[in-house]
Amino acid sequence: MIGREFWDITPIFEGKPPRLKQKIVCPVCGSDVIYFKHASGFYRGNGQYRLDIVVKCGRCALVITFGVHITEEEFNKLSKSKARLEYKDIGHVNLNEEVAR
C-alpha cells in the first residue's frame, strides 16, 4: 500500500504519532527536525481510504502532507476512536528521534 514503506501507523490506534521507518529531511532547508503536526483518516471514494499524516519542519516551517493508504478496517478502527490526532494531544515530537527499527 502506498506510503507504508515510510510509515508505521499502528501507534495511531493508541493515540500516539505514527513512526517513521526511515529518516526524512526537509526538502527546502535540509533539517532533520521534523515535527508531527496531525493525522486524520478519511474515505476518498471508490473503496479507497487514506490517512493524511502532516509534518512540519522545525527550522523553516515547511508543512508536508503524506497521504498513506489504509484499509477499510483500519479506517473503521480510527473512526471508532479519535479520527484525528493532533500535536496538542501529544506534544511536540521530532519524528526522526522515533524512527522505527
Per-residue pLDDT of the chain (101 residues; tens, 9 = 90+): 788 999 999 998 888 889 999 999 999 999 999 999 999 888 888 999 999 999 999 999 999 999 999 999 999 888 876 656 666 666 677 888 877 54
**Full residue range of the structural domain in which residue 67 is found:** 7-98
Alpha helices (H) in 9-100, listed in sequence order: 72-80, 87-90
Q: What's the CA gap between 18 and 63, in Å, rounded?
A: 16
Q: Evaluate whether residue 1 is within a structural domain.
A: no
Q: Residue 23 domain-assigned? A: yes
Domain-embedded: residue 38: yes
24, part of any domain = yes
Please tell me the predicted confidence (pLDDT) of residue 87: 62
- Residue 84 domain-assigned (yes or no): yes
- Interval 25-45: pLDDT, tens: 999 999 999 999 999 888 888
Total-model pTM: 0.85
Split into its structural domains, the chain has a count of 1
Other C-beta atoms lying within 10 Å of the C-beta of residue 18: 24
Residue 2 included in any domain: no
Instruction: Give residue 93's pLDDT.
Output: 78
In the numeric block, which cell numbers belong to residue 85? 490526532
CA distances from 99 to 22, 33, 43, 71 (A): 6, 12, 28, 23
Question: In this structure, is the dihedral angle defined by the CA atoms of residues 89, 95, 48 and 44, taken in order, positive or negative?
Answer: positive
